[in-house]
Amino acid sequence: MLRIGIVAGEASGDILGGLLVQALKQKRSDIEFVGIAGPKMMREGVQSLFPIERLSVRGYLEVIKHAYGLIRIRQQLIKHFLNHRVDIFIGIDAPDFNFYLEKKLKKHGVKTLHYVSPSIWAWRKNRVHKIKRAVSHMLTLFPFESEIYQQAGVPVTYVGHPLADSMPMEPDTAAARAVLRLKPNDLVVAMLPGSRQSEVGQHAALFIQTVKILHTDYPHAIFLVPFVTRESKQIFELALFHEQQALPIQILFGHAHDAMQASDVVIVASGTATLEAALLKKPMVITYRMPSLSWRLLKRMHLQHFVGLPNILAGKSIVPELLQHQATPEKLAAAAIAMLGNTQAIAEMKAEFTKMHISLKQNNAEKIATLILSDF
């Protein structure tokens, strides 16, 4: 029996973990997985010792507020992994939480893999030396990340992104619209306010007010807002409840992929969803808001010109980014309207997205599973 400890900290990590666990099980039937998992990982048989939502905290002030609970969870996980000896530990994203676990487990002789490099190329570059003490092997999603670890002497493998493997080069918009019972000629705007509850809390009113402006110019447009958890869905529904005006917003539980694939344009909070929209070759507007103190601290350490993955991967601005004080309903609506009417800009954007897709398509889960099992 091979025992694997595995911890994912949010919805995007749950997607990555689910695909990885599935690939490992196809290679070996005698693997037991335990740690912290979301619904996709649990569906593949991962025993989750704590709800994944307990780790879905973003922003410096928010982390401080939940610090005591997070410390207790870490202590209990370390105790469990050492008492019920795991052969290998895989931390999926959630770097501040997982690096601490990895450092402690590595000291006790457990091989530690970290899947998804934190954005040290954007800020806190010196952090790589701390990572070296915690991680036996780093698995990077993006090609430009590996060089930083190679220079620091950290074993690293570029594994590509599983979304690039799973998505077709040419998305089927008509099929997605059929799934969601939309008409072929409907004007559809997908709006993704974030996967975390804190993100939805920051973006709900912004997105609703943006819909109000767009609805004035496009009264027949349909707005799709998908959610991955009931809690985040309820936060948005409560914000919508306070609006006096009836709006053509369809709230979905799940179906984020379908919503984006069915859309003419996507308005999306910065995060993994921006990459998904790019792989679906969809024109988009990226936005993000966070508490003002967290934003000021982040800006001090930020080394990149962009926050959206499509722009970072392209190395230039191909997608508009409206962040913090620039993230207003008027500016979001104007950016979306400008994009809808610019066929040349959309064509250029799609060409860049196709290049990204080809680069990131690496047969990710198979590559990682082979690497993990090579020692066992």
Say yes or no to pLDDT of 65 above 60: no
R_g of the chain computed on alpha carbons: 21
Q: Which residues contact 269 (CB under 8 A, 6 or more apart)?
A: 192, 193, 194, 199, 203, 286, 287, 288
Instruction: Report the top-level CATH class of 2-160+361-373.
Output: alpha beta
Q: How far is CA 248 from the centre of its chain?
A: 27
Q: 146 near 362, Cβ under 8 Å?
A: no
> Would the CA dihedral through 244, 246, 249, 250 be positive or negative?
positive
Distance between CA 25 and CA 23 in Å, rounded?
6
Say yes or no to pLDDT of 122 above 70: no
> Would the CA dihedral through 59, 65, 67, 69 be positive or negative?
negative
Going from the C-alpha of 151 to that of each of 34, 114, 132, 156, 173, the distances in angstroms are: 33, 17, 11, 10, 43
The confidence score (pLDDT) of residue 61 equals 46
Distance between CA 44 and CA 11 in Å, rounded?
15
Q: What are phi and psi of 249, to 5 degrees?
A: -100, 125
User: Hey, what are 102's tokens?
Assistant: 């990895």
The confidence score (pLDDT) of residue 162 equals 86
- Least confident interval from 47-51, 116-120, 198-202, 283-287: 116-120
HSE, side-chain direction, 13 A CA sphere, residue 78: 19
The confidence score (pLDDT) of residue 311 equals 94
Query: What single string gives the DSSP state of each residue in 108-143?
Result: TT-EEEEES--STTTS-GGGHHHHHHH-SEEEESSG
Q: Percent of the chain beyond pLDDT 70? A: 93
The confidence score (pLDDT) of residue 114 equals 97
pLDDT digits (tens, 9 = 90+) for 144-160: 889 889 999 999 999 99
The confidence score (pLDDT) of residue 60 equals 45
Distance between CA 5 and CA 87 in Å, rounded?
8
Say yes or no to pLDDT of 371 above 90: yes
Q: Mean of the pLDDT values across residues 353-375?
A: 94
Residue-wise burial string across 258-277, b where 16 or more C-beta atoms lie within 10 A, e elsewhere: bbbbbbbbbbbbbbbbbbbb
The confidence score (pLDDT) of residue 54 equals 78
Question: Is 173-360 CATH 3.40.50.2000?
Answer: yes
Q: 84 near 34, Cβ under 8 Å?
A: yes
Q: 131 near 99, Cβ under 8 Å?
A: yes
Per-residue confidence at 18, pLDDT binned at 50, 70, 90?
A: very high
Q: Does this chain's domain 2-160+361-373 share its CATH topology with 173-360?
A: yes
Say yes or no to pLDDT of 370 above 50: yes
- DSSP letter assigned to residue 342: -
Going from the C-alpha of 333 to that of each of 78, 181, 183, 319, 330, the distances in angstroms are: 47, 25, 23, 14, 5
Distance between CA 162 and CA 173 in Å, rounded?
21
Q: What are phi and psi of 101, to 5 degrees?
A: -60, -45
The confidence score (pLDDT) of residue 293 equals 73
- DSSP letter assigned to residue 330: H
The confidence score (pLDDT) of residue 32 equals 97
Going from the C-alpha of 294 to that of each of 5, 42, 212, 239, the distances in angstroms are: 32, 32, 29, 23
pLDDT digits (tens, 9 = 90+) for 323-362: 989 999 999 999 999 999 899 999 999 999 999 999 999 9
Per-residue confidence at 204, pLDDT binned at 50, 70, 90?
A: very high
Please report, for the chain, the start and end positions of each structural domain, with discontinuous segments joined by +.
Answer: 2-160+361-373, 173-360
